[in-house]
Amino acid sequence: MARYFIEVAYKGTAYSGFQIQQNANSVQAEIEKALKIFFKAQLTLTCSSRTDAGVHALSNYFHFDCDNLPHHQRLNEVVYNINAILPDDIVIRRIFPVGIKAHSRFDALSRTYRYAVYQTKDPFVADRAYYYPYTLDIEKLQEAATVLTEYTDFSSFSKRNTQVKSFTCNIFQSEWTAEGNLKVYKVEANRFLRGMVRGLVGTMLKVGTGKISMADFRSIIESKDCTKADFSTPPQGLFLLQVKYPISLVENL
C-alpha cells in the first residue's frame, strides 16, 4: 500500500464546505465520488484544512492510500481523467506519492489565506470578494494587522461550538495591501480557528472605517470573548492560498 497527496483547487460557491458532511454537498464528497467512478473502489480521503461553505481555495490537499496507481508521468493521465469526471468548479492539480507516514493535516507547517474587499461596484469580482463601499484607511488596517502578530491567543476570533482544545495560533504574516479596486488581507499561521479569518477581517474593517480605535481592537483580542468580534464578512471573499509542507515531504515533485 502506498500513500498519495492530492492537490486540489475549487470555487466554493456551490458547496457547504470542503470536508464531507451529512445532508449537504461538499468538495470532498464530489472528489470521492469521482475517485470511486475512476478506480471502481471507495477511497478514504483525509483533508489538510477545512474551509467553510462558500469559501474558495487555490490550493488544498487530501491524502489517501492506494496500491494500484501508476507512477511518474502516467499519474498525469489519472489526473486528466478524474478532472473529466469532476464538476467545472473543482480541479485536481496533481497527485503525487509520499511516505506512508505522511499526513496532509498534521505535517502541514502553515496555511495562508487571502481575503479581498472591493469598494466600487464590480460584477467581475462579486463572487470572489466582499463589496464594502465605505471609506477605508489602509494605514489603520495595516496597523491592526501588525498588532495581531503580537498575540497567540485568538479565542475572540473563534466561532462558538468549536471542538478545539486550544485557541493558540502563531501568526507568521499579517498584512493589508491595495490591489487596484481591491483591498486584500493576507495572513499565514500555523493553524486557524473556526471562522478566524473572517472574524479578523470583519473586526479590522471596523478599525479601518474608524468605528473602533486601535485600543478597542486590542481590547477585543485580550477579552477572549467571541461576541465582541465581527464575523459578518461573507465567505466569497476568502481564499485558501497555500498549505506549506516540509521540503523533505514533497522533494520528489
pLDDT of residue 175: 98
% of the chain exceeding 90 in pLDDT? 78
52 included as an active-site residue: yes
Cα-Cα end-to-end distance for the chain: 20
pLDDT of residue 39: 87
pLDDT digit string, tens, across residues 101-158? 999 999 999 999 999 999 999 999 999 999 999 999 999 999 999 999 999 999 999 9
Closest by CA to 115, choosing from 229, 204, 43, is 204
pLDDT digit string, tens, across residues 63-96? 999 886 766 558 888 999 999 999 999 999 999 9
Span 110-241: which CATH code? 3.30.70.660
Average pLDDT over residues 180-203: 96
Parse the chain into domains and list their residue ranges: 2-106, 110-241
For residues 239 and 54, what is the distance between their CA atoms, to the nearest angstrom? 10
Checking if the pLDDT of 8 tops 50, the result is yes
Do 2-106 and 110-241 come out as alike in CATH topology? yes
**CB of 235 within 8 A of CB of 52?**
yes
Residue 212 grid cell = 473602533
Closest by CA to 156, choosing from 83, 247, 223, is 223
pLDDT digit string, tens, across residues 24-58? 899 999 999 999 999 888 888 999 988 899 999 99
Per-residue confidence band for 159, with pLDDT thresholds at 50, 70 and 90: confident
Fold of 2-106: Alpha-Beta Plaits (3.30.70)
Partners of 5 in the β-ladder: 63, 96
Q: Which residues of 158-174 are buried (b: 16+ CB within 10 A; e: fewer)?
A: beeeeeeeebebebeeb
Write down the residue that cell numbers 497527496 correspond to: 5
pLDDT of residue 152: 97
**CB of 239 within 8 A of CB of 45?**
no
